[in-house]
Amino acid sequence: MEFKGKTVIVTGASRGIGKGIALAFGQLGANVVVNYNSKVDEANQVVQAIEAAGGKGIAVQANVGDFDSAKQLVDEAVKAFGQVDILVNNSGVTKDQLMLRMQEEDFDQVINVNLKGNWNMIKHVSRAMLKQRSGRIINISSVVALIGNAGQSNYVASKAGVIGMTKSLAKEFGKKQVTVNAVAPGFIETEMTDNLPAELRDAYLAQIPLARLGQVEDIAEAVLFLASEKASYITGQVISVNGGMV
Ligand code: NAP
């Protein structure tokens, strides 16, 4: 797979899965827009690693949940590299709590970043992608969108919403050869899962036939494939990368 001359925006690329995806594109020669919300030093380090690997990168701060901030992110990408070929909506947050304890703001915040954030980004890239009659949009959902999870009614609703949005926009954008797919990771080793209590981690591990948590590279490989020419007849799909868990 080759991405020389292609421009990709990866949201939430300062760490975790987004960082892994950004580095993977950089290693294949892409121009990578490394979005972050708060961790500027981490984002700059990702850009340095991309450049060391032969790609080009810029770090851009934006809160994807904010409509205008998401627009600025897309504008910066176009200003730096001319157009956007690939959008990876990866930013995500959790605010886990059982229903009886969950506060309204825990619900609103998670929906705003994980679901509305994807919509904001797609809104701002889609006009140009449709006009250029090519584009790849890849949304990062989650295994829990497929099976539910106690204590995550907000997060699971956001990630199931991402799947519905993916399937709907695949139908809207297909005629213009813009594909829209989702990747649903299982349990991947990042800061998001580092905070899990040991008993819960072991319980999840027991449900994974491949008997290990996933690595960010496992997700990056699926994203690269969906972004590549090889996946040009795939749209509206959810690719599960979960060690066989579901
Ligand atoms: P992570 O390590 O917690 O990193 C989250 C990333 O999202 C960071 O780069 C963060 O930026 C960014 N972010 C947070 N709020 C943002 C906002 N408002 N605007 C822009 N960026 C924002 O998470 P991860 O584990 O890599 O997860 C990445 C994605 O995969 C998420 O969508 C998550 O739901 C999904 N996922 C993860 C797992 C897993 O097991 N880890 C499983 C299934 C799905 P800053 O660093 O600047 O704060």
Contact 183, 222 (CB under 8 A): yes
Q: What is the CATH number of the domain that holds 41?
A: 3.40.50.720
Question: How many domains, in total, are found in the chain?
Answer: 1
Task: Give the HSE-up count for residue 125: Cα atoms under 13 Å, Cβ half-sphere.
Answer: 38
Residue nearest atom 10 of ligand 1, based on CA coordinates: 12
Any domain includes 232: yes
**Beta strands of the chain (E only): which ranges?**
7-10, 31-36, 56-61, 86-89, 135-140, 178-185, 238-241
User: Is 233 one of the annotated active-site residues of the chain?
Assistant: no
Residue 121 is part of which domain span? 7-188+215-238
Cα 172 from Cα 159, distance rounded (Å): 20
Distance 175 CA to ligand 1 centre (A): 31
Any domain includes 70: yes
Cβ of residue 93 lying under 6 Å from some atom of ligand 1? yes
Any domain includes 224: yes
Any domain includes 121: yes
Cα 168 from Cα 228, distance rounded (Å): 21
pTM comes to 0.98
Any domain includes 151: yes
Cβ of residue 190 lying under 6 Å from some atom of ligand 1? yes
3-state secondary structure of 2: coil
pLDDT tens, the chain, 246 aa long:
789 999 999 999 999 999 999 999 999 999 999 999 999 999 999 999 999 998 999 999 999 999 999 999 999 999 999 999 999 999 999 999 999 999 999 999 999 999 999 999 999 999 999 999 999 999 999 999 999 999 999 999 999 999 999 999 999 999 999 999 999 999 999 998 888 889 989 998 999 999 999 999 999 999 999 999 999 999 999 999 999 999
Cβ of residue 91 lying under 6 Å from some atom of ligand 1? yes
Any domain includes 206: no
Any domain includes 2: no
